[in-house]
């Protein structure tokens, strides 16, 4: 095989439709654009979402919801994950080292999911009311 003999596969390339090149082509005169109107004219078109002056869909529908960019810095840890952790003092660095929270995380909260039977001391980590009750019942604390 030589560079000057390479060809695309048979049938993979086809000639571009040439519009406005006479009546015999089937796309002569108006070139498939129909008669008159904004869409038939060169350079005459409108912006995306424009509905001819009618109130556009994106303005007719109610606006709902918002996802904060700060959410990626928040993480959650379950009581079950704390139980599996082999350290008694838990802080953000320990959770990152164990791979329980992403490295980008800045704030961590413990949620009540799973069981906790050993005493753990949380430093710089929040907890839900239910999780806090379970941690304190197991002999742990939040610092």
User: The domain that contains 80 carries what CATH number?
Assistant: 3.100.10.10
Identify the domain containing residue 120 by its residue range. Answer: 70-142
For residue 1, tell me if it sits in a domain. no
Is 52 part of any domain? no
Q: Quick check: is 108 in a domain?
A: yes
Assigned domain for 117 exists:
yes
Cβ neighbourhood burial of 113 (10 Å; 0-12, 13-18, 19+)? middle
pLDDT digits (tens, 9 = 90+) for 118-140: 999 999 999 999 999 999 999 99
**pLDDT value at position 86?**
86
Distance of alpha carbon 133 from alpha carbon 127, whole angstroms: 9
- Answer yes or no: is 46 within a domain: no
HEC letters along the chain: CCHHHCCCCCCCCCCCCCCCCCHHHCCCCCCCCCCCCHHHCCCCCCCCCCCCCCCCHHHHCCCCCCCCHHHHHEEEEEHHHHHHCCCCEECHHHHHHHCCCCCCCCEEEEECCCCCCCCCEECCCEECHHHHHHHHHCCCEEC
Confirm if 77 and 108 have CB atoms less than 8 A apart: yes
Q: Assess if residue 89 is contained within a domain.
A: yes
Q: What is the pLDDT of residues 8-61, one digit of tens each?
A: 999 999 999 999 999 999 999 999 999 998 889 998 888 899 998 999 999 999
Lookup result for tokens 């086809």: 14
Name the one residue in this structure whose structure tokens are 């604390």. 141
Q: Is residue 114 part of a domain?
A: yes
**pTM score > 0.85 for this model?**
no
Domain total in the chain: 1
The answer to whether residue 113 is domain-embedded is: yes
User: Of 130, 88, 98, nearest to 111 (Cα)?
Assistant: 130
Using CA atoms, how far apart are residues 30 and 54, in angstroms rounded to an integer? 28
């Amino acid at each position: 095989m030589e560079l000057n003999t390479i060809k695309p596969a048979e049938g993979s390339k086809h000639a571009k439709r040439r519009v406005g090149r006479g009546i015999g082509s089937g796309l002569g005169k108006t070139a498939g654009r129909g008669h008159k109107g904004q869409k038939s004219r060169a350079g005459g078109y409108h912006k995306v979402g424009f509905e001819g002056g009618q109130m556009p869909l994106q303005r007719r529908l109610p606006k709902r919801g918002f996802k904060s960019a700060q959410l990626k810095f928040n993480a959650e840890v379950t009581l079950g994950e704390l139980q599996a952790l082999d350290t008694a003092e838990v802080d953000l660095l320990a959770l990152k080292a164990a791979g329980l929270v992403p490295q980008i995380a800045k704030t961590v909260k413990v949620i009540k999911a799973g069981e906790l039977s050993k005493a753990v001391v949380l430093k710089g980590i929040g907890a839900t009311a239910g999780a806090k009750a379970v941690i304190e019942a197991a002999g742990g604390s939040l610092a």
